[in-house]
Structure 1
Amino acid sequence: MTSLPRHLSLLIALLMGGAVPMPALAAGENLKVTSLKASAAGFYEVVVATPTAGRPVTCVLRDASGKALARNTWISQTPETTVPVRHPGAPPCSAVCAAD
């Protein structure tokens, strides 16, 4: 018997009431940042899409030149994780997050 293509296997699992496996986070995998905003004094909230819970995620705040300003590591939740990063200086321009 030949194996079914992955998309058909997932469809059959859904139709049969089974769980569809979520993709795991690989170490070093870049994650999509969905939001970067100032929160409490000296802190920024980085919201990142995370398909797997329980994995460490590190976010780095960057200035306009790409220089790292601050970083923090947080344990992921699904479907997204809010990582608080302390940075009392000038506002960052972007954030980059990756699985550890």
Structure 2
Amino acid sequence: MRKLFATAFSLWAATAAQAENCQIIGNQTLCDDGVSGQRIGNTTYWNDGSSSQQVGRFTYNSDGTSSQQIGNHTYYSDGTSSQTIGTTTYFSDGRSCRRIGNQISCD
């Protein structure tokens, strides 16, 4: 989920192929697959020890990956991309995630 959180809503991040549901409460992100994170300033610290830092339209992850947001498109360093239309983000691999209030659901 890190890729999605870090880009689409400045806190999103998705890597899992299965359906996931997450809730954002203040600076905390809690997902039903056990992933959680805490945002402090422009950096999100994840419970697996990794982190994501947002600098302008760029997001840098501690594993060396990154992304760049241009308008409603996000381009990831692994060659994939996503487009956000309204409350839904569509990924180039066919996945999508939708945010309603503080809930995020991905398929």
Query: TM-score interval w.r.t. the shorter chain?
Result: under 0.3
Under a length normalisation based on structure 2, what TM-score does the superposition of the two structures give? 0.23
Q: Max radius of gyration: which structure?
A: 1
Under a length normalisation based on structure 1, what TM-score does the superposition of the two structures give? 0.24
Which structure ranks higher in relative contact order (CA pairs < 8 Å, sequence separation ≥ 6)? 1
